[in-house]
Amino acid sequence: MNAGPTPTDAHQDDLAVWFRLRSVTGIGNLLFRRLIRRFETPEAIFAARDDDLLAVDGVSSRVVAALRRTPANRDTVRQELDRAAHLGIRIVTQRDPVYPALLLEIPDPPPFVYVRGDLTRCRCPVAVVGSRQATPYGRKTTKRLCRDLADHAITVVSGMARGIDTAAHQGVLEAGGTTVAVLGSGLECIYPPENRKLFEHIAETGAVISEFPLGAEPEAHHFPKRNRIISGMSVGTVVVEATRRSGSLITARLAAEQNREVFAVPGSIESFKSIGTHGLIKNGAKLVSQVGDILEEIPAWARSETQPPVPTATASRSGGPPLAEDEADVLDSLTAYPEHVDDLTRRLNMEPGHLISVLLALELRGLVRQDPGKRFSRIDTEPITG
């Protein structure tokens, strides 16, 4: 492994104060975020007057006293930073522009994350999680769904655990897409160990991140904390196979609490692996059978940053981009007058989820307009007369 760039002393000093603030007794992630919102930098927090600190909700005189007596521990921090640089790992703080923007919206984002790879490749992230003891159906469905998401330039976020998480990452990589793995251990302690090669592949094309120190072991209490990052940095969470007490249901609950979309893939009513996902659907999660079921719920602002898929099969069209065969068929069937998606489904005899996927791809290309009520029309280059 090539060593990463050696951090300058000034950069280490900048990061050291983040580590110092994080180590203050009584300052957890929630209070850390409140303080940063109020004072903007850790340096300003340490320099602030007691009265100004006490004005922040959650700051007590005991917290202020702990803040004043917390040492810098520069040697310990320098060792961690040097080790990270040697491993090609970057430490990204909340003030860094590449810190996941959506993650900053949750109440308790980590003050900083360790990153191996490139977070700037992460576009319109969607989380896909599920059972560690996945069935063949679960693994196959997950791979197909994640390949389709990758074809729409959507980043898939998961936890690199055995089972569904592994299948999610693999599906994206097979499609040449971008995926992000969020670990419940430090980046120097890859878990599960058999996923080391997967870890390297993800880091080469996307990113692997963790809020835990480099050598942190995969302790049980780390994973619920990890799950809030998976859901928190994503516009929505898809659950594929989950038992009644599955950790994936924690991720789904966190997504709902974070005001993000929740999706669930149905399974056999005879499989206990699907009890959790069926429960989610009963409680309002969006049922997913095709990628279009996800795409139609992605906010417009997120989709506007997503590039359309690059088709392999093309059809010539004067003045327009190359289209896949099904895209050309759908576009040719549309007029300038809006038509409801249900009517299009019946007329084209096409599976609803797939049709939605095609329509959204055409919309992203600027060839189709979606009006309220899921009504679609063709965008012509010349005005209609008559």
Whether 198 has a pLDDT exceeding 80, the answer reads yes
User: What average pLDDT does range 306-313 have in this prediction?
Assistant: 41
- Where in the chain are all domains bearing CATH 3.40.50.450? 119-302
Average pLDDT, the chain: 88
pLDDT per residue over 80-90, tens digit each? 999 999 999 99
> Which residues have a Cβ under 8 Å from the Cβ of 232 and sit 6 or more positions away?
100, 102, 103, 105, 106, 109, 254, 258, 260
pLDDT band at 337 (very low <50, low <70, confident <90, very high): confident
pLDDT band at 42 (very low <50, low <70, confident <90, very high): very high
Q: Which pair of structure tokens corresponds to residue 168?
A: 């999610």
Instruction: Name the H helices within 49-135.
Output: 50-54, 61-69, 74-86
User: What average pLDDT does range 152-163 have in this prediction?
Assistant: 96
Q: What is the pLDDT of residue 381?
A: 42
Q: What is the pLDDT of residue 45?
A: 97
Q: Which pair of structure tokens corresponds to residue 318?
A: 């004067």
Q: Which pair of structure tokens corresponds to residue 176?
A: 């040449």
User: What average pLDDT does range 110-122 have in this prediction?
Assistant: 96
Choices 3.30.70.20, 1.20.950.20, 1.10.10.10, 2.70.70.10: CATH for 325-378: 1.10.10.10
The pTM (predicted TM-score) of the whole model is 0.77
Q: What is the pLDDT of residue 148?
A: 94
- Where in the chain are all domains bearing CATH 1.10.10.10? 325-378
CA 75 from centre of chain: 34
**Residue of higher predicted confidence among 29 and 327:** 29
What percent of the chain clears pLDDT 90, i.e. is strictly above it?
67
Roughly what angle, to the nearest 10 degrees, separates helices 9-22 and 74-86? 120
Q: What is the pLDDT of residue 75?
A: 81
Top CATH class of 119-302 equals alpha beta
Identity of residue 176: G
Laid out side by side, the sheet with 368-371 consists of 339-340, 375-378, 368-371
Q: What is the pLDDT of residue 383?
A: 36
In degrees rounded to 5, what are phi and psi of residue 131? -65, 140
Q: Which residues of 88-101 are buried (b: 16+ CB within 10 A; e: fewer)?
A: bbbbbbbeeeebbe
User: What average pLDDT does range 22-36 have in this prediction?
Assistant: 95
User: What average pLDDT does range 344-361 have in this prediction?
Assistant: 85
